[in-house]
Structure 1
Amino acid sequence: MTSSTAVPEPGPNAADRTHVAAGGDVDVIAIAPDPEVAAGIIEDTPLEDIFDEGVVARAQDLIARYPVSRSALLPMLHLVQSVQGYVSQEGIAFCAKQLDLSDAEVSAVATFYTMYKRKPCGEHLVSVCTNTLCAAMGGDAIYKKLQTHLGSEEKPLGHNETAGTPNEPGSITLEHAECLAACDLAPVIQVNYEYFDNQTEDKAVALVDALQAGKRPAPTRGAPLTNFKGAELQLAGFFPEDERQYRADVDGPSQAVETLRGAKLAQDRGWVAPVASDVPLPALPSKEGEKK
Structure 2
Amino acid sequence: MSVRRLAKEQPATFAFSKETVKKAEWWIAKYPADRRQSAVIPILWLVQKQEGWVSEPAIRAIADLLGMAYIRVLEVATFYTMFMLEPVGSAALIQVCGTTPCMLRGSNDLMKVCKDRIGPKQTLSADGRFYWEEVECLGACVNAPMAMINDYYFEDLTAADLNQIIDDFAAGKTPERGPRVDRINSAPEGGALTLTDPKLYDGSAAKPIKKLPNTEPVSA
Superposition TM-score tier, normalisation by shorter sequence? 0.7 to 0.9
Residue 179 of structure 1 is matched in structure 2 by: 137
Q: Does 1:257 find its partner at 2:197? A: no
For 1:120-166, what per-residue CA distance to the aligned partner results, in whole angstroms no more than 9, with x for missing partners? 1112111111100100110012112221122xxxxxx1232111444
- Residue 32 to residue 56, structure 1, CA distance change in 2 (3 Å): same
Structure 2 unaligned segments of length 5 or more: list them. 201-220
User: 1:55 is matched with which residue?
Assistant: 20
What are the Cα deviations for residues 30-71 of structure 1, in whole angstroms up to 9, with x where unaligned?
40321x32x62xxxx3x5xx2244433332221012343122
5 Å matches for 1:268-279? none
Q: Gaps spanning 5+ residues in structure 1: where?
A: 1-25, 151-156, 222-252, 271-292
Whether contact under 8 Å (2:106, 2:145) holds in the other structure is yes
State how far apart, in whole Å, the 1-side matches of 2:75 and 2:188 are: 39
2 CA distance for matches of 1:216 and 1:63? Answer: 33
Amino acid at match of 1:201: A
In structure 2, relative to structure 1, the CA distance for the partners of 1:61 and 1:160 (3 Å cut) is: same
Secondary structure (helix, strand or coil) at the match of 1:257 reads coil
Q: What is residue 161 of structure 1 aligned with on the other side?
A: 123
Q: How many residues align?
A: 192
Structure 2: which amino acid aligns with 1:149?
A: R
- Partner of residue 176, structure 2: 218
How do residues 121-270 of structure 1 correspond to structure 2 at under 5 angstroms?
Answer: 121-123=88-90, 124-150=92-118, 157-166=119-128, 171-220=129-178, 255-258=185-188, 265=194
Letter matched to residue 78 of structure 1: W
Q: How does 1:25-44 map to 2 (within 5 A)?
A: 30-34=4-8, 36-37=9-10, 40=12
State yes or no: 1:100 paired with 2:83: no
- Determine the C-alpha separation between the residues in 2 that align with 1:70 and 1:254: 40
TM-score of the superposed pair, with normalisation by structure 1: 0.59
* RMSD between aligned residues: 2.7
Paired residue for 1:65? 30
Closer, same or farther in 2 for the Cα pair 1:106/1:144, shift >3 Å? same
Matches of 1:185 and 1:114, distance apart in 2: 22
| Regions of 4+ moved over 4 Å | 266-270
Match of 2:87 among 106, 120, 137: 120
Q: More helix per residue: 1 or 2?
A: 1
SS at match of 2:178: coil
Aligned 8 A contact 2:98 2:137 in 1: yes
What are the Cα deviations for residues 263-283 of structure 1, in whole angstroms up to 9, with x where unaligned?
Answer: x7357598xxxxxxxxxxxxx
Q: If the length of structure 2 is used for normalisation, what is the TM-score?
A: 0.77
Q: CA deviation at 1:92?
A: 0.4
1:180–1:258 CA distance, 2 compared to 1 (3 A): farther
